[in-house]
């Protein structure tokens, strides 16, 4: 059967950070106004399962912990049809203490994996990073977890991905429940990859002409498939591109038209061949991949002004 390794289920844009080059554009879309409905999210999951075997679900914001009710409803919905799949909850962790009791209950009841990304780890002032580590360990202790290894994450989540090129997780922290399932994965995020260029103050595609290089060396979503409004996209950056360009007033820029013309897989109308083609080409470059850079020179270090822009929060 056609399969998807990690299905990013988009649940909403609201976020308490403003990370530059956020691929779901939660640095510029700050409210819940454009969030999908619960019904459309469930329908998208059902349609995805109809056409693909889903190895892992990732309930993705925005900041997921702003959406505790949605996390519960969607997790329950998935568990009713699939007891064994991994359900990942990516979070920046700032709201762990505020949601500790309910979060503990959700993780335990639906066997969730919380993926905590420390966006503050590169800051010279370690206060925010230290606070995040403390609150994460409060959760770990409350859940009674034991420490695992990077091999657990590869074995349980990232196994059997063609052409996967990813650094080791040796310096990350992975914690397991009594059944050996990953329950908390804590990772530092010192750097991030730019997903657009800036020319005269306006966003531009890189247009590298090297789609293979852009996919292998400039993509921040090589193994995730983005689900939004019943459609599957190769990456979140393509799915959220129209809103991003309208925000910056460059929707009609000729350089962006190739990427705006990208056609996602419409799960409600797709043919069997289209499903198979999507599955077969997921871990390969496509012509639109050259929107992103084709080398690591556009990696940038996370600093407060690139993560916490208070005027946008």
- Residue 156's pLDDT is 86
- Residue 192's pLDDT is 87
- 8/53 same-domain check: yes
Give the chain's count of helices (H) and strands (E): 11, 14
Q: How many domains does the chain have?
A: 2
Size of the chain in residues: 313
- 42/156 same-domain check: yes
Q: Which residue has the tokens 């599955």?
A: 279
Give the pLDDT confidence of 80-105 residue by residue, as tens digits: 999 999 999 999 999 999 999 999 99
- 132/243 same-domain check: no
- 73/188 same-domain check: yes
pLDDT at 168 over 70: no
pLDDT band at 78 (very low <50, low <70, confident <90, very high): very high
Collapsing DSSP to helix, strand or coil, 133 comes out as helix
Q: If you average pLDDT over every residue of the chain, what do you get? A: 92
> What does the pLDDT average to over 19-26?
94
Asked if residue 231 is part of any domain, the answer here is no
> What does the pLDDT average to over 150-175?
70
Distance CA 280, CA 277 (A): 5
| Angle subtended by helix axes 38-51 and 68-81, to nearest 10 | 30
Single pTM value for the model: 0.94
* Residue 181 phi, psi dihedral angles, 5° rounding: -85, 140
- Residue 161's pLDDT is 62
Asked if residue 229 is part of any domain, the answer here is no
- Residue 160's pLDDT is 67
- 216/138 same-domain check: no
Residue 246's H or E segment, with its range, is helix 241-247
The CA R_g of the chain, rounded to the nearest whole Å, is 19
pLDDT at 170 over 70: no
Give percent above pLDDT 70 in the chain: 95
Give the pLDDT confidence of 262-271 residue by residue, as tens digits: 999 999 999 9
Asked if residue 227 is part of any domain, the answer here is no
Distance CA 288, CA 132 (A): 36
> What does the pLDDT average to over 146-156?
87
Q: Which residue has the tokens 């900041």?
A: 63
- 205/179 same-domain check: no
Give the residue among 8, 6, 30 at the shortest CA–CA distance from 17.
30
Asked if residue 180 is part of any domain, the answer here is yes
- 293/307 same-domain check: no
> Hey, which residues does 58 pair with through a beta bridge?
8, 88
- 215/306 same-domain check: no
**Chain-centroid distance, C-alpha 170:** 21
E strands within the chain? 3-10, 53-60, 86-91, 112-118, 146-147, 173-176, 182-188, 191-193, 197-199, 202-204, 224-228, 231-233, 265-266, 299-301
Read off the tokens for 46: 């059902």
Read off the tokens for 6: 């990690």
pLDDT band at 310 (very low <50, low <70, confident <90, very high): very low
Give percent above pLDDT 90 in the chain: 80
Give the pLDDT confidence of 49-58 residue by residue, as tens digits: 999 999 999 9
> What does the pLDDT average to over 111-138?
97
Distance CA 90, CA 105 (A): 17
- Residue 88's pLDDT is 97
Asked if residue 232 is part of any domain, the answer here is no
- Residue 162's pLDDT is 55
pLDDT band at 171 (very low <50, low <70, confident <90, very high): low
Asked if residue 132 is part of any domain, the answer here is yes
- 164/32 same-domain check: yes
Domain that includes residue 133, residue range: 3-192+301-312
The DSSP call for residue 37 is P
- Residue 312's pLDDT is 38
Q: Are strands 112-118 and 86-91 parallel, antiparallel or unpaired?
A: parallel
- 215/122 same-domain check: no
């Amino acid at each position: 059967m056609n399969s998807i390794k990690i299905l990013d289920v988009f649940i909403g844009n609201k976020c308490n950070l403003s990370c530059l080059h956020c691929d779901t554009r939660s640095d510029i879309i700050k409210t819940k106004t454009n969030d999908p409905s619960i019904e459309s999210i469930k329908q998208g999951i059902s349609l995805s399962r109809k056409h693909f075997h889903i190895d892992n679900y990732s309930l993705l914001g925005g900041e997921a912990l702003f959406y505790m009710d949605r996390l519960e409803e969607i997790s329950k919905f998935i568990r009713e049809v699939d007891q064994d799949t991994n359900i990942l909850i990516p979070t920046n962790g700032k709201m762990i203490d505020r949601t500790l009791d309910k979060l503990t209950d959700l993780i335990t009841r639906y066997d969730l994996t919380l993926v905590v990304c420390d966006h503050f780890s590169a800051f010279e002032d370690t206060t925010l990073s230290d606070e995040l580590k403390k609150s994460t360990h409060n959760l770990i202790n409350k859940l009674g977890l034991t420490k695992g290894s990077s091999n657990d994450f590869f074995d349980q989540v990232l196994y059997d991905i063609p052409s996967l090129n990813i650094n080791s997780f040796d310096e990350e922290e992975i914690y397991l429940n009594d059944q050996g399932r990953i329950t908390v994965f804590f990772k530092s995020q010192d750097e991030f990859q730019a997903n657009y260029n800036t020319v005269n103050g306006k966003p531009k595609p890189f247009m590298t002409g090297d789609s293979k290089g852009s996919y292998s060396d400039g993509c921040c979503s090589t193994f995730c498939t983005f689900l939004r409004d019943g459609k599957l996209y190769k990456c979140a950056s393509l799915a959220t591109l129209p809103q991003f360009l309208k925000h910056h007033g460059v929707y009609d820029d000729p350089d962006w038209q190739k990427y705006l013309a990208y056609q996602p897989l419409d799960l409600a109308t797709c043919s069997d061949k289209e499903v198979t083609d999507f599955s077969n080409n997921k871990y390969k470059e496509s012509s639109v991949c050259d929107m992103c850079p084709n080398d690591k020179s556009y990696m940038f270090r996370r600093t407060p002004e690139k993560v916490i822009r208070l005027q946008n929060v």
